[in-house]
Amino acid sequence: MGEPDIVLTRVDNRLVHGQVGVVWTSSVGANLLLVANDDTAEDELQQQLMSATADSSGVGIRFWTIDKTISTIHKASARQHIFLVVRTPQDARRLVEGGVPIHELNIGNMHFSDGKEQVTKYTYMNQQDKDDLRAVADAGVNVFIQETPDDKKIKIQEVI
C-alpha cells in the first residue's frame, strides 16, 4: 500500500456541516470525508446529521476514533481522495504524532469558550491549542487558517 491520498485535513469544531460538506469537499476534490474524533465515533445522532450532508454532496463518510484512524488510514485505496476532518488541534497533533501523513492542516472554525482568545474573526485559541498547532507545524505540516476556499490563507506562524 502506498501513502493514503489525504487531500486536506481541517480542524473545525463543527466537524461536517454545509461549508465543509459542500464547499470544501468539492474545492479539494474529495470523495470521502473521514471524521476522526473519539466522541463523534460513538455518537450516532451526530453521525446521522453529518451523513446527510455528505449524502447531499455525493461523497462517502466515515467516523473513526483517533486510534482507528492511525491504525487504518494506511489501508486506504488509491481511488479514495480523503478529506480528513478533526474537532481540535489536539486531535490533529495525535494523528501527526501517530504517523498519519498529513501535509496540510487547515484551521477553520474554532469557537470562543472560556480561556480562549480571538486569533482571527472565527478562530479562538487557548495556550494548549497554540502548543498543539506549533508541534504540528514543527513536524513539517503546512498549518494555515482559512475559513473558506476563497479566503486568503494565513500562516499559523503569523498569529500564534
As annotated, the active-site residues are 17
User: Residue 93 carries which side chain, given as an amino acid letter?
Assistant: R
Phi-psi region of 14 (alpha: psi -120 to 50; beta: other; left: phi over 0): alpha
Partnered with residue 67 across adjacent β-strands are none
Residue type at position 56: S
Largest CA-CA distance found in the chain, in angstroms, rounded: 44
Q: In this structure, is the dihedral angle defined by the CA atoms of residues 87, 108, 15 and 141, taken in order, positive or negative?
A: negative
